[in-house]
Chain A
Amino acid sequence: MDNSTRRLLQRLMRRIPTPLLKTTLEKWGRLTVAQRQSMDFTQPKWAVTEKLLAICEENEWTAKQITELEMIYIIDNPNQGMWYAFQLMDPEDDAHSVELMQFKEQFKSHLSELVRHVSVKIKKHTDEAVWIRIAWGDSLSRPNHLKPTYVVHYLQTPYVFVTSLTSKQKPLLSQALVLSTRYHAIKDANLSGRKLTAIRDLLMRQYQQAFPTKYPSPLAEKNHTVSNPRIEREQAGLIANRLQMACEAFGDGMLPQLQSAVYKLETKFKDHTNKTMTERDEPFKCVVKFASTNLLESLRHCASSGIASTPVTPLLSSIPLKGRNYFVITDNGPSPPSQMHASQN
């Protein structure tokens, strides 16, 4: 066991929280029952790490086994770092029949053709997801296991989720993915977030969605508890109306947890009181970013509580509708100033 492997294991052990250590090691399945029993998880973590290192030395395990352990931990705890969504485009005729073994082989061979030193590990998770761990090297250096890229792909769907990918590695991964999934192209899905399950649900429509037709009449006033007969709302109709509008835009169930939404404005500056700016030909560029621990929930609350005006602007409601949280807004030709248009790309 060389020094880099040792460092890899030490770093991994530092990342895994103590309460999860035991179950993660059990799932790993490399340790014999005797070895597992010999480890005392009540000891401080460095002592457990030393013990595990000794066992690894004894069994002459290499980075291969350690990365296995890392994958098991990451698959169970994916909400670390930013996840970015991509979408494959233009499937070939046989794209829907790609199965795991074929994909595995193809992906590995395509990627190793592109990069000389690369270490790929592929594992199928129970929920049909294929997890890919890529440790990148280049023509001179060996794969760097300390900064791996994780890719999650659902076979037979066009969706791919990626974390910790540098811009240099992006074209390489894209090419290998496109070739091995039998598609023609891949594009940025303009969706990112810290919670993998949330952006997956949003993109693959696996959450309770809002259908405007589902709320034909004023809703039962759920949030508006009539607390006391001596308290009366003058504009109660407004509240019911707002609730309905908010539900039409965002649904009334649980919403996937997104952390941010970014709008890049490339529209002309419009303000009749400021002539100098309005008369400029080039667009006024700015970026508007909304951030929250649960952005969609916040937006729904803003709409239902009246902080944001209703009906909810299509700019906000298209986050769940289109499953994306990055928008570029451009002027839609010679149109009235209020009609902003969320462009398709």
Chain B
Amino acid sequence: MKMSLLKPFSKLPGLNTANILLVESEEQFQQNLADTLVEETAVTVNVRLAKSLPLPMENEESRPRIDLVVFIINLTSELSFRSAEASLKYLDPGYFLGKVCFMVTNARNASVPTERLDAVRKLAASLHCPLLFAEDQTPDGVTNAAERLLTILKVAAGLVPMATALYLSNLTRCTLPPDIDQPSFD
């Protein structure tokens, strides 16, 4: 069990390299996102795709040091949220010092219950992680999402002088409005 925990500093970093792990139970958006992420030229970006955690043991050797873990949650699916939630416990606590972020899709969809968005926000806030909203249907949306992830990834991989993941996450982490549990009146 202890072996299957993913650790942020168990491996050495590569030169000018950033490695990102995209976890999405539906495996739809991650491929598009990955294709866009690897187009980055300033640094070498390696992308690992997973449906859920824990990651398979047999890839342990070949897997580089993961600098940023992104949980992609499709808000229209309860399963998607549950899966991400269940995967969290396979991450070393060290990751939660700025190396994890949540990305939700379909937040504008009318069929999304507001409770689910609130649950995701609470989850992100309780883990001190940033929560990003992304549009997965259009190429522009994918590019935008990839750019935002790259910004965080470069910091998390230590490629930005004077910035650390922990420092950045203090500025970007999700915070809850104090009245989130109050019924809204609008």
Query: Which chain A residues have a beta carbon within 8 Å of chain B's beta carbons?
Result: 227-228, 230-235, 237-239, 305-307
Q: CB distance A232 to B51 under 8 Å?
A: no
Q: Nearest CB to that of B55 among chain A residues?
A: A234
Q: Which residues of B, 32-53, contact A by the 8 Å Cβ criterion?
A: 34-35, 38, 44-51
Interface flags for B1-38 (1: CB within 8 Å of A; 0: not) read 00000000000000000000100011110010011001
- Given A238-B51, A306-B51, A231-B26 contact (CB < 8 Å): no
28 A-B residue contacts at CB 8 Å? A227-B34, A227-B35, A228-B35, A230-B44, A230-B45, A230-B46, A231-B31, A231-B46, A231-B49, A232-B48, A232-B49, A232-B62, A233-B48, A233-B50, A234-B21, A234-B48, A234-B50, A234-B59, A234-B63, A235-B56, A238-B51, A239-B27, A305-B26, A305-B27, A305-B28, A306-B27, A306-B51, A307-B26
Q: CB distance B47 to A230 under 8 Å?
A: yes
Q: Nearest CB to that of B79 among chain A residues?
A: A307
Q: CB distance A228 to B38 under 8 Å?
A: yes
- Given A227-B35, A234-B59, A306-B46 contact (CB < 8 Å): no
Closest chain-A Cβ to B136's Cβ sits at a distance in Å of: 14
Known: A227-B31, A228-B38, A232-B47. 15 other contacts (CB 8 A): A227-B34, A227-B35, A230-B47, A231-B31, A231-B38, A231-B47, A233-B49, A233-B50, A234-B50, A234-B55, A234-B63, A235-B56, A237-B56, A305-B28, A307-B26
Chain B residue contacts of A305, Cβ below 8 A: 26-28
Q: CB distance A235 to B51 under 8 Å?
A: yes
Q: CB distance A234 to B56 under 8 Å?
A: yes
- Given A227-B35, A238-B51, A306-B51, A232-B46 contact (CB < 8 Å): yes
Closest 4 CB pairs of A and B: A234-B50, A231-B34, A231-B47, A230-B38
Chain A residue contacts of B38, Cβ below 8 A: 228, 230-231
Q: Nearest CB to that of A305 among chain B residues?
A: B27
Chain B residue contacts of A232, Cβ below 8 A: 46-49, 59, 62
- Per the bound structure, the CA–CA distance linking A15 and B45 in Å amounts to 59
Chain A residue contacts of B28, Cβ below 8 A: 305
Chain A residue contacts of B21, Cβ below 8 A: 234
Q: Which residues of B, 52-95, contact A by the 8 Å Cβ criterion?
A: 55-56, 59, 62-63
Q: Which residues of B, 104-132, contact A by the 8 Å Cβ criterion?
A: none
Chain A residue contacts of B27, Cβ below 8 A: 239, 305-306
Q: Nearest CB to that of A233 among chain B residues?
A: B49
Most buried by A among B21, B45, B49: B49
Most buried by B among A227, A234, A237: A234
Chain B residue contacts of A227, Cβ below 8 A: 31, 34-35
8 Å CB contact of A306 from B25, B44, B45, B47: B25
- Per the bound structure, the CA–CA distance linking A127 and B134 in Å amounts to 52
- Per the bound structure, the CA–CA distance linking A239 and B50 in Å amounts to 11
Q: Nearest CB to that of A307 among chain B residues?
A: B26
Q: CB distance B45 to A235 under 8 Å?
A: no
Chain A residue contacts of B56, Cβ below 8 A: 234-235, 237
- Per the bound structure, the CA–CA distance linking A235 and B30 in Å amounts to 13
- Given A227-B35, A230-B44, A235-B26 contact (CB < 8 Å): no
Most buried by A among B44, B48, B55: B48
- Per the bound structure, the CA–CA distance linking A235 and B48 in Å amounts to 10
Closest chain-B Cβ to A236's Cβ sits at a distance in Å of: 9
Closest chain-B Cβ to A94's Cβ sits at a distance in Å of: 57
- Per the bound structure, the CA–CA distance linking A193 and B25 in Å amounts to 33
Q: Nearest CB to that of A238 among chain B residues?
A: B51
Closest chain-B Cβ to A302's Cβ sits at a distance in Å of: 11
Chain B residue contacts of A230, Cβ below 8 A: 38, 44-47
Chain B residue contacts of A233, Cβ below 8 A: 48-50
- Per the bound structure, the CA–CA distance linking A238 and B25 in Å amounts to 12
Q: Nearest CB to that of A237 among chain B residues?
A: B56
